[in-house]
Amino acid sequence: MLIKRARSPVWIALALTLALAACGRNKGDESPPEPGDTAVATVDGHTVWASDVKREAVAQGLISEGEPLDIGSDLFRQRLDEVVDQKLLAAEALKRRLDKDPVAQRRLAAARERILGDMLVESVVEKAVNENAIRGLYAEQQKLSKRSEEIRARQILVASQAEGEAIKKLLSTGASFDALAMERSTDAATRFNGGDLGYFTVDVMPEAYALALKDVQKGALVGPFATEGGWAVLRIEDKRLEEPITLEAARPQIVRFLTYDQVRDLLEKLRGGSKVKILTAKQQDLPGAPREPASAPLTPLEGGPTTPAPPAAAPSNLAPSPAPARKP
């Protein structure tokens, strides 16, 4: 099978590293690298395991760490073909003694360091980012978070203030809001559902709405007031405190923060106990000089770090952002 996508130098270096390790084993003495692992192919007598293919899929960002990968799926077969290709390329490179080149040796060493660094980070994070830590940070943030007030309202939008006053008078005498919204409202987004705007916080609404809804009570008729689309008459259906975000919804954000926090602490500790001296001077910014655009973060396969730089503080906004209400 032809390799369908270009491979970075680091990817090839990783393949060479794997091949060097494989060449050190006897062909008849290959045990599963993980409990319950499955042999899925052999390349010149060396076994390719299902875990090798899954690791490739994780490295390419096609599945997440810990996510299952069915060995009968097309995704698995495509990655298996790529793993076989990598091993064939690495074996051929060894035959040509490319690994003896000083530049190749430095690249192989860099790939080995990167893999070992990733393994250290994984082991530290696995111990620290556990259920107790996740629940503890969630509880702490819930105590600190402020819950906004949500309003549920219905609206009828008309062309003039006079028409709005007439609508409000009809509503105050018991007319059906749903019927008037369907007959009179010019807001196509809400007229056919009784003018229902759903639940919202005033900060997501246009300024005219925020001013008109300040300190309103449940059941009140509000307006008419001028908006960009005309004159609005609202009825307040309900008021409540915003629902707090659930633990499961907040879990991905919490896990990311705890991971970043552990990586930051680990690197600070390592740098504090080592002698690191930067030999290149920082480039001085010149007034008016063009700035180089920031590069996109590199993935591990491109030579970038496994985890991004940690945030400066814990996430303090675990409350869900309310969905914007429809603008009239």
Among residues 51, 3, 43, which one has the least CA distance to residue 23?
43
Q: What's residue 291's pLDDT?
A: 60
What per-residue confidence (pLDDT) applies to 19?
45
- One DSSP character per residue, 282-317 reads PPPPPTTPPPPPPPPPPPGGGT--SSPPPPSS----
Label residues 117-142 b or e (16+ Cβ within 10 Å = b).
eeeebeeebeeebeeebbeebbeebe
Alpha-helical segments (H) within 213-304: 247-272
The pLDDT profile of the chain, 328 residues, written as one tens digit per residue, is 333 333 444 344 444 444 444 444 444 447 888 888 899 999 998 899 999 999 899 888 898 877 888 989 999 999 999 999 999 999 999 999 998 999 989 998 998 999 899 889 888 888 888 888 888 888 888 777 777 778 888 888 888 888 888 888 888 888 888 888 888 888 888 888 888 888 888 777 888 888 888 888 888 888 888 888 889 888 888 888 777 788 888 888 888 888 888 899 889 999 888 888 888 877 666 566 556 555 444 433 334 444 444 444 444 444 443 333 444 3
Q: With 0-12 CB in 10 A as exposed, 13-18 as middle and 19+ as buried, what is 63?
A: middle
pTM over 0.85: no
pLDDT at 36: 86
Question: Do you know the residue count of the chain?
Answer: 328
Bridge partners for 230 per DSSP: 227
